[in-house]
Amino acid sequence: MSRKIKYGKSIKIKAVKAVLEEHQGVNMVSNQLGVDRACLQRWVSFYQKYGAAGLTPRTSNTTYSKEFKLQVVRSIEEKGLSFKAASLKYNIPTPSTVRTWYLTYINEGGTGFEKDRRGRPRSMKTKSKESTGKPLSREEELLQENESLKAELALLKKLHALAQDKKKKQ
């Protein structure tokens, strides 16, 4: 599935050249074109590093390998790079991606990159004893049955109240 491109390559080049060649301010150009200032600064950085090819819109989501993510995070730690500098060095579109990788590495270590984090969680995690496979004690079974009966009673009361309300309206 392709992604929607907000700004084409020609608009990006026009904006970057206005900043670099015409010596217009980033704020002024961003206001004229209706582009976020930080976004324009990122375009300028990518243009200076990679030329016009650095402004080519990405038409699909890029997946990065575990090794690549580790390389980026380790360069941040060893060389003291900022997220912005690391994203520029490794041609990653936004620094927030690098920040996410770094926080994952800090919290979970290198094994955190092995998990697929995209999309909805597969299922809700419950802490009931049924999910662990241990049999319930007699007391726990009775408590569960009691909760079920309470819910059923509440449902019946609500149904009865709705029926009474319907009769009154007629």
Query: 20 near 52, Cβ under 8 Å?
Result: no
Domain count, the chain: 2
If asked whether residues 69 and 101 sit together in one domain, one would say yes
Q: CA-to-CA distance for 47 and 13, rounded, in angstroms?
A: 8
Is 147 a member of any domain? no
SS3 125: coil
Query: Does one domain contain both 83 and 107?
Result: yes
Cα separation, 43 vs 29, in Å, equals: 12
pLDDT digits (tens, 9 = 90+) for 63-99: 888 889 999 999 999 998 899 889 888 888 888 889 9
8-24 per-position pLDDT tens digit: 788 888 888 888 888 88
pTM of the entire predicted model: 0.56
Domain range enclosing 34: 1-58
Q: Is residue 46 domain-resident?
A: yes
pLDDT at position 28 is: 87
- The yes-or-no verdict on residue 46 having pLDDT over 90 is no
CATH number, domain containing residue 29: 1.10.10
Report the share of the chain in percent with pLDDT over 70.
89
Do residues 18 and 24 touch, judged by C-beta distance below 8 A? yes
Is 106 contained in some domain? yes
